[in-house]
Amino acid sequence: MRRVYLDHSATTPVRPEVLEAMLPFLKDAYGNPSSIHSFGQEGKKALEDSREKIAAAIGASSDEIVFTSGGTEADNLAITGTARAYARKGRHIIISSIEHHAALDSAKYLEKQGFQVTYLPVTGEGLVRVEDVAGAIRPETILISVMHVNNEVGTVQPVAEIGRLARERGIIFHTDAVQSLGKLPVNVNEMQADLVAVSSHKIYGPKGVGALYIRRGVRLEPMFYGGGQERKRRPGTENLPGIVGFGRAAELIVPEMEAEVTRLTAMRDRLLDGIVARIDDIVITGSRQHRVGNNASFCVKYVEGESMLLLLDMQGVAASSGSACTSGSLDPSHVLLAMGIPVEVAHGSLRMTLGRQNTEEDVDYVLEVLPPIVDRLRRMSPLYAASGRGK
């Protein structure tokens, strides 16, 4: 059976060049980068080479990059780290209501610690309004966190405008660029960001490694205590094979980006238009204009997203409903609800995210298998019968 992977926003396969780059560091080059001897120095050099590659990919200097265990840790470190460091200046933070749980739950944790948090609304198109950010700022605001690209609906947020506003008011600006790196230009200066989170496994690197960009002069309290690694901002022996893989993945993805995004956007548009043409009552979720090229998100009315996922999987198609992190719970996605999508519609959400290995034949295959799946589920759906459309 054909297998079609359409869940690249959940994770991506490690590309061969990346694995190749990592292997020496899983074999003979096992030195600890903190050691004085040649084994250690070899590791240290690889660590610093990777740091330069990550910095180059986002327009930063290498001394502003701290390696972490992934995007989740980078978001946690950015938000809780600066909140703790600047608490004496003020205890109010602003965050969008459609952030990844890594950011959102960091803010919720801070709320329990006595910080005040404003959760920004979004438009029906899944976009944060700059006016809402401006309206939420108080004298005691220390941090604004708005993601660059949303992981569920793929919408691109006006981060440069928000960054400019934050800078004018002397407020730190964090953006989660996990879903934009490799899909859009990511430049810390153009975004006027002070903190930027990125993750390796969303760009064809290994899992369990990421980085936080920390603008020179921005202070933060570490989450861990231990050795002096990462200039004490993230102690612990570095995940060197992972970091080397991440560096290689970042180095490869940026120059290929434009051509690949053009290819994926055309495929995504054909997929989305094909679905709308073949299936009634589809609600496309999120702005079609301000959206990354590989994301097709929509709701299929009168059916459950989970049921579609299971039947798609039986046909070899891997997609997601809501986000991978909330699957397992039956709550509809906080992102779709924040966009004002009714709960019963949000239950029918599907997200298909394309990547390097997908072909036009994959799109044809999904357009062939999805309509009968929806048909079958709707025939069993009391909601569909009640809607009067079943006849």
Residues annotated as part of the active site = 325
User: Which x/- pattern, by CB under 6 A, does the window 95-134 give for ligand PLP?
Assistant: -----x-x--------------------------------
Question: Which residue's beta carbon is nearest to the bound ligand PLP?
Answer: 71
CB of 380 to ligand PLP, least distance (A): 33
Residue among 230 and 304 whose Cβ is closer to ligand PLP: 230
Strands 4-5 and 317-318: parallel
Residue 239 is a binding residue for ligand PLP (CB under 6 A):
no
Residue 221 CB neighbour total at 10 angstroms: 14
Give the span between the Cα atoms of 308 and 325, in whole angstroms: 18
Q: Should residue 234 be labelled a site residue for ligand PLP when binding is judged by CB under 6 A?
A: no
Q: Does 199 bind ligand PLP (CB under 6 A)?
A: yes
Residue 202 lies near ligand PLP (rule: CB under 6 A): yes
Which range in 43-51, 71-79, 246-254, 366-374 contacts ligand PLP by CB under 6 A?
A: 71-79
Q: Does 8 bind ligand PLP (CB under 6 A)?
A: no
72 is an interface residue for ligand PLP by CB under 6 A = yes
Between 307 and 349, name the residue whose CB sits nearer to ligand PLP.
349
Distances in whole angstroms, Cα of residue 381 to Cα of each of 30, 208, 258, 374, 384:
57, 40, 43, 10, 5
DSSP 8-state code for residue 13: P
Q: Report the residue from 151, 297, 307, 353 that binds ligand PLP according to the rule CB under 6 A.
A: 151
Nearer CB in complex with ligand PLP: 67/384: 67
User: What's the closest the beta carbon of residue 102 comes to ligand PLP, in angstroms?
Assistant: 5
Stretch that binds ligand PLP, among 28-36, 66-74, 245-253, 272-280 (CB under 6 A): 66-74
Contact between 351 and ligand PLP (CB under 6 A)?
no
Q: Rule CB under 6 A: say whether 210 interacts with ligand PLP.
A: yes
Any residues with CB less than 8 A from the CB of 328 and at least 6 apart, and which?
none
List of residues 6+ apart from 336 with CB closer than 8 A = 152, 153, 285, 299, 322, 345, 346, 349
Q: Round to whole Å and give the CA distance between 315 and 11.
A: 20
HEC profile for 140-205?
Answer: CEEEEECCCECCCCCEECCHHHHHHHHHHCCCEEEEECCCCECCECCCCCCCCCCEEEEEHHHCCC
* Residues ≥6 apart with Cβ < 8 Å to 4: 316, 317, 318, 358, 362, 365, 366
Among 147, 292, 319, 335, binds ligand PLP (CB under 6 A): 147
CB burial of 175-198 (b: ≥16 within 10 Å; e: otherwise) equals bbbbbbbbbbebbbeebbbbbbbb
d(CA 297, CA 187) in angstroms, rounded, equals 26
Nearer to ligand PLP, 220 or 279 (CB): 220
Q: For ligand PLP, which stretch binds (CB under 6 A), given 108-116, 194-202, 238-246, 308-316?
A: 194-202
The residue among 7 and 251 lying less far from ligand PLP, judged by its C-beta, is: 7
- 8 A C-beta contact, residue 77 and residue 128: no
Q: What single DSSP character describes residue 333?
A: P
Structure tokens at 178: 């996990």
Is residue 176 at the binding interface for ligand PLP, with CB under 6 A as the rule? yes
Stretch that binds ligand PLP, among 42-50, 85-93, 195-203, 306-314 (CB under 6 A): 195-203
How many chain residues bind ligand PLP (CB under 6 A)? 15
> Can you give the binding site for ligand PLP, defined by CB under 6 A?
70-72, 75, 100, 102, 147, 151, 176, 178-179, 199, 201-202, 210
